[in-house]
Structure 1
Amino acid sequence: MMVGQIPCFAFVAVVLSNAAFAGSHVPDLGPAPVFSPVDPDAAELGQLLFYDPILSGNRTVSCASCHHPRFGTGDGVSLSLGDGGQGLGPERQADPDNLPEQRIPRNAPALWNLGAAGMDVMFHDGRLEADPNYGAGIRTPLEGDMVAGFDSALSAQAMFPVLSADEMAGHYGENEISRAVRLGQLSHEGGAWDLIAGRVAAIPEYRQRFDTVLGEGAPIRFTDIGNVLAAFIRFEFRAMNSPFDRAMVGEATLSAEAAMGQGLFYGRAMCSSCHSGWLQTDNGFHAIAIPQLGPGKAARFESHARDVGRLRVTGTEEDAYRFRTPSLRNVSLTAPYGHSGAYATLEGVVRHHLDPVAGLRAYDRTQAILPVLDGASDWRVMDDPAEVTAIADANDLAPISLRDDEVAALVAFLDALTDEEAAKGRLGVPDQVPSGLPVEP
């Protein structure tokens, strides 16, 4: 189906109030999300690049390797294997001829509704966000090396996975892109982004398609690649037609169990104190004692396995172990949950929220979904009482007591946030890409 044939959802300009839904336990959610118009040619070009391994250093990993619609725009595992992995989702395995150095430190976040206005904070720690105080309008760890030309925070986020050795770039000495990254040649002329853009420009079909989007003969920059990827994500992964949405505009009725869960979500369970608004996120950062597994988020010269989240971005001690509130749209499709993917089920992560410290200390490690990686030390933090205590001490959430049937009702409400049509895909997975490299179906 072509982009231009997708109608705008009916409630784009609707503003709901408590009075309009008296008794529903739903507060005023504010204006419905606004999505910028999408150029059909840009979206279709972005679709091809999203599934094309040409953007990775060794030409083996695409964006879809960790963000595949088959797994709700995640990859179905707690912590991914990027470069050096083979296969998709829980079946992905380490390539014995190119073993990954480590797992990707954080769970692959879902992509639903990242194209909505106001969704300007990217990654679990928010290290990239729209900020008019910066020259390019986007604050990133690159600081002075950041370049102008990205049309949004969503398009700019594409620049980080391609620079990560463990995700897409590959390790030092394996290819020209990984070598440029290791030498710090990123946004410079002839650096990693130029090398990637050059690869794309050298493929006739991509050159032709960019001529349509940019104008004939216009240079293809990495910023242009990020912009068309964002156009695809904005169009393909828009999910605003769930049972919840239809109920909110009076076109459907939630099941009794889901309605009970909605009342709890916006009432006694206090879920909406963080998961607020139409997209069920405040885009803020909170410490909720999610169990830490895997290599953690450390610089190469550091030897610990902890992940202190937002603290690494701000340097502010009170931000220790805080992570961005994820949107809950299509959440039933995006397991595992938490920044480390610690919980395999919605019920598991809901119960953790009810008493995070107890959940942390009694964590069932069988909930982790980890592809085999010989030599991985996945439980260093959880095996260290001092590390566990540090996570527990940072927790923001007070315990809440719910009956088993109330937990089940909350899960039923979360299921009602699923847009089944969006999950089927609009453009879908292409059969082939212009590079001729393999596509994961």
Structure 2
Amino acid sequence: MSNMRPDLIFLAMLASVPVARPAAAVDLATLELPAPVTDGDYMAVTPGEVALGQLLFFDPILSGNENISCSTCHHPRLGTSDGLSLGMGEGGHGLGPDRVAVADNMPEDRVPRNAPALYNLGAREFTRMFHDGRVEMVDGRLRVPIEDPFFETVSGVLATQAAFPVMSPDEMGGQVSENPLSKAIRQGRFSGEGGAWDLIAKRVAAIPEYQSLFERAYPEIAFGRPIYFADISNAVAAFMAFEYRADDSAFDRYLRGDEAALSDAAKAGMALFYGEAGCSSCHSGPFQSDQGFHAMGQPQLGPGKTLDFERGHRDEGRFRVTGKAEDLYAFRTPSLRNVTLTAPYGHAGAYSDLRAFVVAHLAPGDALMHYEPIHATLSDLPPEVAEKDWDVMGNEADVAAILSAIEVEDRTLAADQIDALMAFLAALEDDPKRLGIPESVPSGLDFEK
């Protein structure tokens, strides 16, 4: 990494971009655009599940120390993410970039990957969850990194995804011996009597309002079946699918026949996106994702995703799931819906500014070699935690490995073309407002609003 002054970094990146020139005229009718999104593209939900899931999503009752909710890292005010490159779960207080470490319960680590946005995850085409796709539906069968009968009872991949954060000590579970949940997690006990999911289900069922809401949402519970954690995951998934469905952007209206929905600048950007710039080779389909995995040379920061016995702080992405060399440093293509709201960007949140990310994404090799930490947004943490942040970027061998995996050639676009792409990305914005943030939750616990 260079020693360039931080205030000159972004200007230096743009200096490599050619002088602005008029964009070539493109016949929009020749573009291969996706079909408009319809109701049939989404999973079915019921009003009772959604109303229940809303309360559970914002209720810290699901966390080990009863101080963190799903919304802590996926807040609607922050584009269903948390505004940080790498989040701070257990040991933190506050929301997003204002979240600070609690003096008497310091975090042991940052969350190793950027909190992904939740928009449209209820769409049927989202069959892989997390940046590495470690939860996925393949040929009608659910694949997960651990064996547990719990996964035979959830409604699908979205409900499965909702179950994982509570198992993470740094996200929601809590650290060793802090609470019964964290002890069960450390011992690898999830299902069954005294398991982590069982403990949460019993905690929720003990609240009369929740018991009543579960009975309304799931008739078998009204007939006497206990509340299981799978019911909690299913309800949370139903809420996310309903609440964060985003398919009424200017782009959606254009696809449905309203040619005036897009500005001239957005149309020029769309022509580039689906044409010369080649963005749609990966960002295809109605939600601008091929749902695949690609090595795009994103800078690595934070603790990484290594096993306990391994040294270093690298994150090898999809390779950790498949074991295939061609998947080294490959990460899932994110949807671009509401991308203007979901900063920072990249699996480790290396870029806090969307335009800087777009420029870097076009020339990932050059951007990786000249990356500077000023682009990230990180909470202040104790030195023993923060000192890991830039280990990978300071290691020539690690950077060379990321660089060698990049699967595209560096390129640049003119400044006016970047402007047009930014206008098109803005046209993908549709921030849904449905149930919103509840005034309170049945547990009576405080949560971030």
Q: What is the TM-score when the length of structure 2 is the normalising length?
A: 0.90
**Cα distance in 1 for residues equivalent to 2:194 and 2:29:** 58
Q: Is the contact made by 1:54 and 1:437 (CA closer than 8 Å) also made in structure 2?
A: yes
> Which residue, out of 426, 442, 449, partners 1:434?
442
SS at the partner of 1:138?
strand
Q: Is the contact made by 2:306 and 2:315 (CA closer than 8 Å) also made in structure 1?
A: yes
Please report how far the alpha carbon of residue 218 of structure 1 lies from its aligned counterpart in structure 2 after TM superposition.
2.4
SS at the partner of 1:225?
helix
Task: Describe the shift of the 1:143–1:25 C-alpha distance in structure 2 as closer, same or farther (beyond 3 A).
Answer: farther
1:228 aligns with 2:239: no
Please report how far the alpha carbon of residue 28 of structure 1 lies from its aligned counterpart in structure 2 after TM superposition.
4.2
**Cα distance in 2 for residues equivalent to 1:380 and 1:413:** 36
* Structure 2 unaligned residues grouped into runs of 5+: 1-25
In structure 1, the partner of 2:28 is 23
Q: Is the contact made by 1:24 and 1:263 (CA closer than 8 Å) also made in structure 2?
A: no
Higher relative contact order (CA 8 A, sep 6+): 2
**Cα distance in 1 for residues equivalent to 2:184 and 2:136:** 25
> Which residue, out of 163, 174, 177, partners 1:173?
177
Please report how far the alpha carbon of residue 92 of structure 1 lies from its aligned counterpart in structure 2 after TM superposition.
0.2
Task: Describe the shift of the 1:395–1:314 C-alpha distance in structure 2 as closer, same or farther (beyond 3 A).
Answer: same
1:119 aligns with 2:153: no
In structure 2, the partner of 1:416 is 427
Please report how far the alpha carbon of residue 258 of structure 1 lies from its aligned counterpart in structure 2 after TM superposition.
1.1
**Cα distance in 2 for residues equivalent to 1:198 and 1:147:** 18
Please report how far the alpha carbon of residue 24 of structure 1 lies from its aligned counterpart in structure 2 after TM superposition.
4.4
Please report how far the alpha carbon of residue 158 of structure 1 lies from its aligned counterpart in structure 2 after TM superposition.
1.2
Please report how far the alpha carbon of residue 149 of structure 1 lies from its aligned counterpart in structure 2 after TM superposition.
1.2
Please report how far the alpha carbon of residue 147 of structure 1 lies from its aligned counterpart in structure 2 after TM superposition.
3.1
> Which residue, out of 31, 42, 66, partners 1:59?
66
Task: Describe the shift of the 1:240–1:319 C-alpha distance in structure 2 as closer, same or farther (beyond 3 A).
Answer: same
**Cα distance in 1 for residues equivalent to 2:320 and 2:253:** 40
Count of equivalent residues: 415
**Cα distance in 2 for residues equivalent to 1:162 and 1:428:** 23
Please report how far the alpha carbon of residue 436 of structure 1 lies from its aligned counterpart in structure 2 after TM superposition.
0.4
Q: Is the contact made by 1:121 and 1:283 (CA closer than 8 Å) also made in structure 2?
A: yes
Q: Is the contact made by 2:68 and 2:447 (CA closer than 8 Å) also made in structure 1?
A: no
**Cα distance in 1 for residues equivalent to 2:139 and 2:441:** 36
Q: Deviations over 1:100-138 (max 9, x none)?
A: 1000000000000000011110000000011346xxx31
Q: Is the contact made by 2:35 and 2:255 (CA closer than 8 Å) also made in structure 1?
A: no
**Cα distance in 1 for residues equivalent to 2:261 and 2:31:** 14
Q: Is the contact made by 2:360 and 2:367 (CA closer than 8 Å) also made in structure 1?
A: yes
Q: 1:202-281, aligned counterparts within 5 Å? A: 202-215=206-219, 216=222, 217-251=224-258, 252-281=260-289
> Which residue, out of 193, 197, 201, partners 2:201?
197
> Which residue, out of 401, 406, 421, partners 1:395?
406
**Cα distance in 2 for residues equivalent to 1:349 and 1:80:** 19
**Cα distance in 2 for residues equivalent to 1:143 and 1:39:** 29
Task: Describe the shift of the 1:88–1:185 C-alpha distance in structure 2 as closer, same or farther (beyond 3 A).
Answer: same
Q: Which AA in structure 2 matches 1:291?
A: P
Q: Which AA in structure 1 matches 2:93?
A: Q
SS at the partner of 1:275?
coil
SS at the partner of 2:136?
strand
In structure 2, the partner of 1:378 is 389
In structure 2, the partner of 1:12 is none
In structure 2, the partner of 1:312 is 320
In structure 2, the partner of 1:163 is 167
> Which residue, out of 84, 88, 91, partners 1:81?
88
Q: Is the contact made by 1:25 and 1:262 (CA closer than 8 Å) also made in structure 2?
A: no
**Cα distance in 2 for residues equivalent to 1:23 and 1:247:** 11
In structure 2, the partner of 1:184 is 188
* Structure 1 unaligned residues grouped into runs of 5+: 1-20
Q: Is the contact made by 2:359 and 2:412 (CA closer than 8 Å) also made in structure 1?
A: no
SS at the partner of 2:107?
coil
Q: Which AA in structure 2 matches 1:287?
A: A
**Cα distance in 1 for residues equivalent to 2:390 and 2:426:** 31
Q: Which AA in structure 1 matches 2:422?
A: V
**Cα distance in 2 for residues equivalent to 1:315 and 1:30:** 35
SS at the partner of 2:193?
coil
Task: Describe the shift of the 1:98–1:306 C-alpha distance in structure 2 as closer, same or farther (beyond 3 A).
Answer: same
Please report how far the alpha carbon of residue 405 of structure 1 lies from its aligned counterpart in structure 2 after TM superposition.
1.0
